[in-house]
């Protein structure tokens, strides 16, 4: 018995020593990692703070500069700029156009002023001023204009000068002066006034930091601690001289840490955030106070567990000794069950933990895949390859019973996503659409968003009226255009059962041909009543020209454009007003060509800065030549990145099949249309929906044939011709293969019902 107790005490001592060592090592690691985490969290918070606020400020500045570029194309501004003397008619026209354009920018905190300096007159949305009074109104010194004309270096890249605090008497405004230079004309100056509160951030997580806007001088600042880094100008100059740009974002100097974020809009503008460094002692003291009680509690718990572990570990040994005492002198080896007793509990515990881990992983995979399974379900239904049995089986499995009744579909088409990808990361439009619709206070009912490709999205609704659908579509279009600057149109279908969503898709695709109409939201009734709305040529002609540009058919586009010019220029009298309106009509059409290719007019103008001025200044005799010159540049710009395979290729092929399945459509026709090989198209269709090309086309033909036979107006051979089967016997064979009876028997069964 004494041997047993001595062994017990030795095991207890060993476990206590292990607990103490483990507690010491763990506490050291916890304290060190906590310090690193606190320091990294503070650093990350400061970086995120300056990055978010600098990106927000850049967004505001970019919006202001894009507005400057936008109003620079106004006809009133062009007339005012080219006038050699003070023409008050041009000034009044420019004032009215500026007022109209400012309506959408009033809530962004911007005001604008335009002047040539030569007429001592500044035109704003609030009225006209002479230059001295306008500068006094802004609270800036006249020296700011003199510096603007003398600027060199980074200024030459942007033609924009930000007025520093030393030349500004009003701390509430930040003033930018943008100069538009033309070798043949006097420079044009834009005053952009931004509210300081809307551009600078509020209080950060660390209230002891300072936020600056700085070029070669401080522009404005949001200072929480007046004594912190007052000589920021010398400090930034030191960084520029000693450090490379990638090392300037995180620099410790003494007791402060400085973050410098260059502006992406104004080349020589920097955002600076300076904050005090939290010392190791301060952080350690905070961690120690917070962790002292938990550490003691864990130590006490460890001692208790050590005692319990000793007892538990000693129990099988005591049983073994007792067994040996009872069978003293018996040298036979212990049985297999007896030998397994020591490890049995550990084995059971390990097995349970392993099963729990596998079950947890499977549950995570199921949760992640449910959305993709629903997308696959609706995609098969809307493309017309889902049978009635497949639909009924999966409605309950995917928890979509509420979609088993009549449905409406909204087709959203976004243009300009390619241009947006070049400036910011691509947005998750599905998430944005879902958030917008859910926030409409229950008007939307149940819905599901199905992306067809990266520009087309179908939103399927149940139990929603046409008025609510129109309201939802208008809200989504307005929000996306305002916040993401994307061109977006919405088409609303009629009401269809779930099994006939293919017809809904075909209706929406027909309606999408009118996406360049005056309305952004198209309904079946509106499309039915839609007539020619373009002033000088029909909207169908414009859509045809855009299609030629997108399909890289330059010859057809040239012929169509030449006919349009001949029809509009060969008039007995062509007034200057008519010519100006015609220029704007062509410019609008060219803009839509760029939008459908994923680019914007602003991007095009940046690459060809003088081409629009030449086009808008063209006389009647020069108009044809200038129009073809501009169109050729637009055509080449739209087609420079064409024919790259994207993930949306399969969806585009399915849409093409839906539009042309009632013809003698072959795999060769599709391969030629999309500039792909037949084997690639066949494999793409097979991998996308697990069906070959011929089966898919025949499914659509049979579905359409059933609709025609149900009407009772057509004979079998007429139906065969309508759905694209030139041979009636072939049509009968296909129909019987998919329906189970011949077309004649199908009609007889209808008559008996």
For residue range 622-662, list pLDDT tens digits in order: 888 888 888 888 888 887 654 333 446 777 788 788 888 88
Nearest-Å Rg of the Cα atoms of the chain is 37
Report, as ranges of residue numbers, the positions in the chain whose pLDDT lies below 70.
1-11, 104-108, 151-158, 183, 201-208, 222-255, 278-293, 306-307, 310-356, 358-368, 416-426, 441-445, 513-519, 529-536, 571-574, 640-648, 688-690, 752-753
Taking the C-alpha atoms of residue 532 and residue 517, their distance in angstroms, rounded to an integer, is 9
pTM score, two decimals?
A: 0.37
| pLDDT of res. 6 | 58
Q: Is 645 left (phi over 0), alpha (psi -120 to 50) or beta?
A: beta
| pLDDT of res. 409 | 92
Q: What are the backbone dihedrals phi and psi of residue 727, each rounded to the nearest 5 degrees, phi first?
A: -105, 120
Residue 645: exposure state from Cβ atoms within 10 A (0-12, 13-18, ≥19): exposed
Two structure tokens written together for 52? 């978010």
Its sign, for the CA torsion 582, 584, 589, 593, is positive
Taking the C-alpha atoms of residue 596 and residue 659, their distance in angstroms, rounded to an integer, is 19
| pLDDT of res. 342 | 38
For the chain, give the percent of residues with pLDDT over 70.
73
Quick check: 403 and 498 in contact, CB under 8 A?
yes
Nearest to 623 by CA among 673, 696, 564: 564
DSSP 432-477: HHHHHHHTTTTTT-EEEEEESSSSEEEEEEES--HHHHHHHHHHHH
How distant, in Å, are the alpha carbons of 14, 262, 294, 313 from that of 304? 14, 58, 15, 14
């Amino acid at each position: 018995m004494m041997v047993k107790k001595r062994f017990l005490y030795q095991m207890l001592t060993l476990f206590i020593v292990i607990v103490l060592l483990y507690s010491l090592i763990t506490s050291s690691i916890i304290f060190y990692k906590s310090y690193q985490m606190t320091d990294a969290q503070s650093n990350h918070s400061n970086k995120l703070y300056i990055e978010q606020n600098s990106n927000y400020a850049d967004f505001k500045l970019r919006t202001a500069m894009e507005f400057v570029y936008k109003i620079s194309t106004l006809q009133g501004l062009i007339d005012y700029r080219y006038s050699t003397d003070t023409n008050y008619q041009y000034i009044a026209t420019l004032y009215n156009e500026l007022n109209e354009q400012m309506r959408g920018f009033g809530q962004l905190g911007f005001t604008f002023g335009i002047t040539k300096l030569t007429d001592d007159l500044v035109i704003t949305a609030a009225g006209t001023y002479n230059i001295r009074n306008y500068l006094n109104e802004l609270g800036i010194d006249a020296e700011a204009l003199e510096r603007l004309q003398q600027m060199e270096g980074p200024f030459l890249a942007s033609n924009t000068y930000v007025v520093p605090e030393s030349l500004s008497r009003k701390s509430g405004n930040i003033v930018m002066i943008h100069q538009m230079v033309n070798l043949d004309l006097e420079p044009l100056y834009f005053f952009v006034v931004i509210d300081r509160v809307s551009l600078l951030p509020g209080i950060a997580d660390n209230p002891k930091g300072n936020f600056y806007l700085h070029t070669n001088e401080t522009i404005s600042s949001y200072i929480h601690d007046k004594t912190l880094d007052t000589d920021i100008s010398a400090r930034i100059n030191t960084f520029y001289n000693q450090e490379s740009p990638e090392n300037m974002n995180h620099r410790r100097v003494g007791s402060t840490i400085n973050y410098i974020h260059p502006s992406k809009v104004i080349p020589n503008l920097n955002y600076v955030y300076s904050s005090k460094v939290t010392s190791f002692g301060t952080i350690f003291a905070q961690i120690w106070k917070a962790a002292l009680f938990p550490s003691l509690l864990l130590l006490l718990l460890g001692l208790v567990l050590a005692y319990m572990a000793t007892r538990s570990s000693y129990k099988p040994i005591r049983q073994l000794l007792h067994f040996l005492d009872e069978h003293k002198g018996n040298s036979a080896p212990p049985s297999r069950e007896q030998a397994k007793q020591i490890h049995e509990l550990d084995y059971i515990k390990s097995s349970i933990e392993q099963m729990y881990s596998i079950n947890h992983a499977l549950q995570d995979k199921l949760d992640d895949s449910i959305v993709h399974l629903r997308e696959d379900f609706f995609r098969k239904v809307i493309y017309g390859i889902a049978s009635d049995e497949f639909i009924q089986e999966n409605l309950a499995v995917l928890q979509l019973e509420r979609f088993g009744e009549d449905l409406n579909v909204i087709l959203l088409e976004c243009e300009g996503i390619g241009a947006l990808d070049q400036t910011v990361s691509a947005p998750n439009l599905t998430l944005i659409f879902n958030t917008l619709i859910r926030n409409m206070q229950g008007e939307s009912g149940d819905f599901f968003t199905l992306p067809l490709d990266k520009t087309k999205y179908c939103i399927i609704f149940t139990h929603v009226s046409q008025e609510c659908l129109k309201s939802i579509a208008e809200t989504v279009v307005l929000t996306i255009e305002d916040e993401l600057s994307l061109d977006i149109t919405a088409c609303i279908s009629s009401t269809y059962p779930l099994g006939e969503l293919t017809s809904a898709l075909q209706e929406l695709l027909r309606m999408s041909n009118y996406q360049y109409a005056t309305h952004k939201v198209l309904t079946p009734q509106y499309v039915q009543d839609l007539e020619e709305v373009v002033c000088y040529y029909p909207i169908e002609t414009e859509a045809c020209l855009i299609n030629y540009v997108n399909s890289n058919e330059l010859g057809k586009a040239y012929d169509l454009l030449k006919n349009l010019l001949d029809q509009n220029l060969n008039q007995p009298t062509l007034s200057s007003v008519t010519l100006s309106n015609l220029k704007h009509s062509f410019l609008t059409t060219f803009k839509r060509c760029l939008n459908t290719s994923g680019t914007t007019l602003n991007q095009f103008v940046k690459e060809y800065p003088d081409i629009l001025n030449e086009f808008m200044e063209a006389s009647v005799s020069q108009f044809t030549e200038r129009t073809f010159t501009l169109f050729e540049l637009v055509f080449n710009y739209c087609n420079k990145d064409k024919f790259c395979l994207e993930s949306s290729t399969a969806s585009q092929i399915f849409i093409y099949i839906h539009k042309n399945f009632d013809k003698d459509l072959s795999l060769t026709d599709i391969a030629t249309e999309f500039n792909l090989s037949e084997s690639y198209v066949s494999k793409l269709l097979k991998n996308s929906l697990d069906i070959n090309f011929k089966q898919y086309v025949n499914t659509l033909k049979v579905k359409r044939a059933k609709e025609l036979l149900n009407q009772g107006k057509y004979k079998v051979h007429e139906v065969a011709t309508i759905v694209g089967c030139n041979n009636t016997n072939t049509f009968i064979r296909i129909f019987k293969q998919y329906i189970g009876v011949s077309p004649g028997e199908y009609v007889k069964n209808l008559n008996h019902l």
